[in-house]
Each structure stands twice: as structure tokens, then as C-alpha cells.
Structure 1
Amino acid sequence: MPRQGSGGVPGAAPDRRPEFGHGLVVGKFYPPHAGHHALITEAARRCAAVTVVVAPSRRESIPLPLRLEWLRELHATEPHVRFVGRYDDHPIDYTDPAVWEAHCAVFRAAIGDDRVDAVFSSEAYGAELARRFGAVDVCVDPSRVAVPVSGTAVRADPVQHWAMLGPPVRAWFVRRVVVVGAESTGTTTVARALAGHYRTRWVPEYGRELTAAKLARLRRTEPEATIFDVRWDRADFEAVVREQQAAEDAAARRSGPLLFCDTDARATAVWEERYLGSSSPRVRAAARRPDLYLLTDHRGVPFSDDGLRDGAHLRGWMTERFREVLADSGVPVIELTGPLPDRLGTAVRACDEVLAAGWSLADPISPRHST
């Protein structure tokens, strides 16, 4: 049975005195942005229950389940709002009653038998949609003054509208740049410097943290132990991949359009090969596809022994092994050579090209224009 005070709409908030019983919001949410959230929040404030129908066409680039996941996360504090997804591949023609009916049939199938009391929209079609549902038309910020953004604008230039995107949406759009290299070749220095240049985030190397922890544990029983006494097993490298990717994903939600990562699963596989003689299928299978690799050459970089490094004699081999592994990744690779300013200059130019390439999102179905 519906909860008391819900106006007969399942899922309604029980202790509110809303203006409307059941509100409807319809859109593609391609992608969800601050304007969408303001619209949904306004409907939630004024209705006992709200149904948001996410209705993209199949030609669009962002999967429907992902949009629903994002919206549910970003509106988790509004439990009387439900999100329902339906594909809608019908043409758009605001002058054709048959086309209107086709779209409304999709929306009705999503809503079910619940009566709609108000339709909330920022679009001109909201009035006709409300009329077809026998509902009140509630127009919210149609001129985009309160929240100056649109899905078209975001798709055209996500960087310009980055502040209008929620954390999970940013994580999907973010371009990931991975810096790899042999010991003491400046991967951390480069990653940190690039993050500062682009005013974004970088992800430190978890393997270094684990190395320090293993050495500290060993010294509890063997105070004279050094890095050469530390032992590794397969589980250690699986842990490095797991923790590194978790940290990367968390940072991506708070990052700017570029995220810099000091190592990844492919690099971890090379380290595993170095210490154990081979890399494991599980570590190799965890490899992702970043947007760019930056490989720091060992030549011209003095080896700095900080107590956690033991591979000065292997730096040449590791650089060459990284070249081989990255060549098979299908990801662009830029090698950084020379003094640090030269390396950073090369890296910045490569990262600028990544941003300039933009985001290739398929266009949604466009409205037909009457002649």
C-alpha cells in the first residue's frame, strides 16, 4: 500500500506538505549537469514523489545504465525521487502529433499507472508534454540564467563546463596520463609538476608506500635489514594494482580534466617481472587504457639512493622493457629525455594535445524543422 501522505504515489516522502503529488521530469541527461540537478531538486522540493525518465537514443555515447547510476548517486539524499531509463529512438518533431504520441508512449511505459500532477522542464516542449499528461506545466529557469549550462554546451567543451559536472561524471570524462619509468628517473617529480601546471590532481605510487611498510615490518625483527632483504610475492603485486586503481578512481572524481598517475598495472607487471622473473595473468589482465603514457628515460638522470631503491644496475633494462610493454598497449607513448625543463616541456605539449583532441560524443537525435 502507498505510504500515508504520498497521494497514492509509491515511494513518496511521508512527512512533507508538497504542492504536487507526483512530478515528472524527462530528459536525455547527456551528460547530467548542474542544470539537470537544479531541475530535479526543484521538482523534489515541490512534489510528494518524482519520476525522472532518462530517455536517450541508442546512438548516444554514454550508456543509459551509467547515466542512471550517476543520477541516483547524485540525488541519493532525495529518496522520493526515482530514476527510470527507457531508450527512445523516435524522431523529434514538435509539430507532429504522431511523433508526440510515440514519445509519450515511451514515457508512460516508464511511469506505469501513476498519475502525473506536474511536469517540470526547462524546455519549450514542457507545456505540450504537460498538456498530454493532463498535468500542470512547471517551467524552471528556461533562459538558463540561474544555471548557465546545457548538455549541448558540455558535449562541445567539457573542460569549459567542468564545474557543472558531478564527481562521477567528471571521473568518466577525465583524461588519464600515466607516468612510468625505471627507479630514480623522475616519475614522481614529473607527475607532481604536471599536476601543479594544470591545477589538477596526481596519484602517488602505492608500490613505494608498500615497500616502505614491508621494510618497516622487517626491521621490527631484523633492525639491520635493508631494502635488499625485502621479499615480494604475487599477492603483493596484486595488492599494488588494486590499491593503485582505487586511489586513481577516487582522485578522478575530484580531478580536473587531466589526471596524472605515477605508475599503473602495466608498470606493475614490469616490476613483478623484475622481482619474480615473470608477470602474472591477473596483474596483466588488470591493465587499463589511459589516454597517454609518459616514459621517463634513465639516461642523464643520476641514481638517488633513498633507502627504498635497489635497482641502479637495472635501469637500462627496465627502460627498454617499458618501451616494449607500452608499445603493445595501443596507447600513445611519449618519451621524456634530457634535463628536467626539457622533459616537462615535452610532457606539457603532449598533454595539451590530449586536451585539444576533445571528446568524441555522438550527436543525439536532432529535432526536425518544419518548412
Structure 2
Amino acid sequence: MTRYARGLIVGKFCPLHHGHQYLIERARSLCEQLVILSYTRPEFPGCEPARRERWLADLYPDAIRCVLDDVRLAEACRQRGLPAVSLPDNDAADAVQRRFVAWVLRHLMDTVVDAVFTSEDYGDGFASALSAEQRAHGGPAVAHVMVDPQRVAVPVSGTMIRDDVHAARHYLSPVVYRDFVRRVAIIGGESTGKSTLAAQLAAAMGTVHAAEYGRELWEAKHGALVHDDMLHIARTQIAREESLVAQANRYLICDTTPLTTALYAEVMFDAVADELDALSRRAYDLVFLCSPDVPFVQDGTRRDEAFRQWQHEWYVRELKARNVAYRLLTGSWEARLSMARALL
């Protein structure tokens, strides 16, 4: 079987799916080194360059990767003292796309390839054009390696996945799918039902929820928390979310956030560590704030109804100051669950 020094794969990867990965794995098995170039114009929502770059880096750290958009391309040209160049539109002629790829390889990546891997009929022409460009500058000829043109191994396309990324999640690596999961935060004062709501909402939506770690540590230490515990709580809460997101379905329901930990650090120790303050600004796709309009229940760990009201006002003030949009959940426990489900 022919081996190649350096292979090339070019794609939008919007999003990167198992069909792309099948092609990439095949190329890796036949090449000493693999070059992956990704660009698209226009961009597709949810598949921004930073995400595509992260997907490729996480899954193929040994590959030479280049992910471009107009901003990145302009900056690369500026740094190298090159005239400004624009990305070709997705519907640009094959000749335009081929010239651009050859230009990127030579001027931005300082490399040559001796094989291009595709699953497309245009592959032969693509390889021929790259050969001509490279040989004109003393480089090697380029072979075309066709991989599964009938899409038998992985019958999927980017268009199909973009139509319903959640229905097609089985074609996506967890590394990729996690970026399409919407993180839903539930916050509120003591005895506003947020923990119960988080579990019920996750069950109703067929997904998982990240339980509140701070409460667990409080109980484990019999309430004897120290200031350093607050940062540990926030870090652990975030780590819990990150570990669960790959198991989530459409939504990850988050029972509290580091914003709550910052509240308790302020109340208990009159000090919020800089890192905790930064973590408390962690963004969520949707924030539910539970209203204190239900009966207060003392479970032996809570303060009192006045403190609960103060907490609510603190949340409202902080969310407004941070320009964080939120939805207020009111009424009975059943009404809150119904309202949250409707909003999702």
C-alpha cells in the first residue's frame, strides 16, 4: 500500500462529524504527517473557527491544522507582510478554491503535500491543480486518494446534521456535540425549589443535571466551611458540568452556578477571591431565577425568610449589573416546572 510523506484534507467541518473523521483516520493511516485546512464563507452558526479549531486540536493533536476565516486570514497576511487576500465563497469555482488552497500551503503554512484525500469526484482535478502549483516551485506532484465516495461507511453529511444536530448526535464525537448542548442555570434563594426543579426538569427533558456541589460539601463538613472552600466549590461545580455535558441531550440543567458561591463567599466571609469572581461570570445559555413566592421551609440548614428575600434581591441586582438576561419562575412547584419546560 502506498505511503505518503504529507497528506492534505480540506473541509468546512461544519460541524466535524464521523464522516470527516473516517476520512481523516484513513489519511492518517497512510501518511507520515497530515495537514488539515478548514475554511468556509459564509460561516455556519455554532461552527465558528474557534470551535472548529478546538474540535480538530482535541481529536487530532498530531495533525498540522489551519482554520481560517476572514479575520484570521487578514491577520496572517499582515503578520507575514503579504497583500490582503479574501476567502473564496463556498460557491466559488473549483479553480478559485484550488488556487486558494495552494496559496495557503505555500504562503501561510510553508509546506507541500504529496497526497490529497477526498470523498469527492473533484479530487482528481484538485490534486492535478496542486501538483502544477507545487511543481512550478520545485515541489512534489500530488496524488489523489479517494475514500468511500458512496458514503457507505458513514452515511451522513454536514447539511443533514445542521438540519437537526440533536437528532444526528450519534454522528458526532462528544467533543463536538458538547458545543451544541445548551446550558441552563437554575438559581434562587434558599427554599425556592431550585434543586428539586433541576432534577425534575432534567427528567422531563430527557437529559442530565449537574447537582449542587456546595450543598454536598456543606453537609459533609457539617456547615464548617472556610474561605478557601468557596473557590473549591466553584471549581468543582464547573468540573461537574464539564464532565456531564457529553451525556446531556440538548440541554444540561445546572443546579446553581458559581454566582451563588460568590454570594455565599460575600455573606460568610465578606470576601470574594478574584478567581471566584471571574468564575461567577461564567456564561449560560439560559438562566432561570426562582422567585421567593412559595412558603419558606426550614430544613435545619437554612437561615430565614428575610435572608431568602435578600438573596433574591441580590441576584436581581447582580444579574442586571452583569447584563445577564434571565427568566423569573413564579407560582407553585408545578407551575415553575411547567413554565421552565415551556421556555425550553
Instruction: Classify the TM-score, shorter chain.
Output: 0.7 to 0.9
- Residues 189 and 290 of structure 2 are in contact (CA less than 8 Å); yes or no, is this contact kept in structure 1? yes
Aligned to 2:148: 141
Counterpart in 1 of 2:129? 132
Give the equivalent residue in structure 2 for 1:51: 35
Closer/same/farther in 2, CA of residues 97 and 52 from structure 1, 3 Å limit = closer
- 2:268 aligned to 262, 271, 275, which one? 275
Match of 2:118 in 1: 121
Matched, 1:189 2:196: yes
Instruction: Find the aligned partners of 1:153 and 1:185 in 2 and give their Cα distance.
Output: 42
In the TM superposition, residue 131 of structure 1 has moved relative to its aligned partner by 1.8
Work out which structure has the larger RCO, using CA pairs closer than 8 Å and 6 or more positions apart in sequence.
Answer: 1
Identity %: 32
1:209-248 equivalences in 2 (<5 Å): 209-215=216-222, 227=223, 230-233=224-227, 235-248=228-241
Which amino acid is the alignment partner of residue 345 of structure 1? Answer: S
Amino acid at match of 2:254: C
Residues of 2 paired with 1:111 and 1:293: CA distance? 43
TM-score, structure 1 length as denominator?
0.74
The match for 1:72 among 32, 48, 57 is 57
- Shift in Å at residue 241 of structure 1? 1.8
More displaced 10-residue stretch of structure 1: 201-210 or 332-341: 332-341
Secondary structure in structure 2 of the residue aligned to 1:295: strand
Match of 1:321 among 308, 311, 314: 314
Distance 1:113 1:337 in 2: 61
* Structure in which a larger fraction of residues adopt helix: 2
Letter of the aligned partner of 1:82 in structure 2?
Answer: I
1:181-213 C-alpha deviation (Å, 9 max, x unpaired)? 122322111111111122222111121122123
Report what 2:167 is aligned to: 160
Distance 2:39 2:328 in 1: 44
TM-fit CA distance, 1:344:
0.7
Alpha carbons of structure 1 residues 129 and 94: separation in structure 2 relative to 1, 3 Å: farther
Q: Provide, for residues 252-310 of structure 1, a one-character-per-residue CA deviation record: whole Å limited to 9, x for no partner.
A: 233222111111122222222332346555433321221111122233244141x5434
- Tell me the amino acid that sits aligned with residue 123 of structure 1: E
> Helix, strand or coil for the counterpart of 1:49?
strand
Deviation digits for residues 28-71 of structure 1, max 9, x if unmatched?
22221111111101222333432222334585664535423321
Classify the secondary structure of the residue corresponding to 2:221.
helix
Structure-1 separation of matches of 2:296 and 2:315: 19
> So what's the TM-score if we normalise by structure 2?
0.79
1:38 maps to 22
Name the CA distance, whole Å, in 2 between partners of 1:71 and 1:65.
10
* Equivalences, count: 316
150 and 330 in structure 1: CA distance in 2 versus 1, 3 angstrom threshold: farther
SS in 2 for 1:253: helix
**Is residue 240 of structure 2 the alignment partner of residue 256 of structure 1?**
no
Q: Mark the runs of 5 or more structure 2 residues left unpaired by the alignment.
A: 74-85, 132-141
Q: Residue 33 and residue 110 in structure 1: after superposition, are their counterparts in 2 closer, same or farther (change >3 A)?
A: farther
- What is the CA–CA distance in structure 1 between the aligned matches of 2:165 and 2:342, rounded to whole Å? 20
SS in 2 for 1:133: helix
Q: Is the 8 A contact 1:94 1:100 kept in 2?
A: no
SS at match of 2:196: helix
Write the distance in 1 (CA, Å) between the matches of 2:190 and 2:302.
Answer: 7
Q: Is the 8 A contact 1:237 1:272 kept in 2?
A: yes
Cα gap change, 1:325 to 1:23, in 2 (>3 Å) = same
Say whether 1:202 aligns with 2:209: yes
Check whether the contact 1:180–1:187 (CA below 8 A) recurs between aligned residues.
Answer: yes
Q: Determine whether 1:296 maps to 2:290.
A: yes
Report the CA distance shift for 1:57/1:110 in structure 2 as closer, same or farther (over 3 A). Answer: farther
> Counterpart of 1:125 in structure 2: which amino acid?
Y
Residue 180 of structure 1 aligns with an amino acid whose one-letter code is I
Tell me the C-alpha RMSD between the 2 structures: 2.9
The CA distance in 2 between the partners of 1:44 and 1:214, in whole Å, is 51
**Cα distance, 1:110 vs. partner?**
5.6
Structure 1 residues 44 and 100, CA gap change in structure 2 (3 angstroms): closer
Per-residue deviation at 1:98? 5.3
- What's the counterpart of residue 342 of structure 2? 349
Contact 1:29 1:36 in 2 (8 A): yes
Gaps of 5+ in 1: 1-16, 216-226, 352-371
What is the identity, as a one-letter code, of the residue corresponding to 1:338? G
CA shift in 2, pair 1:20/1:190, >3 Å: same
Deviation at 1:314, TM superposition (A): 1.7
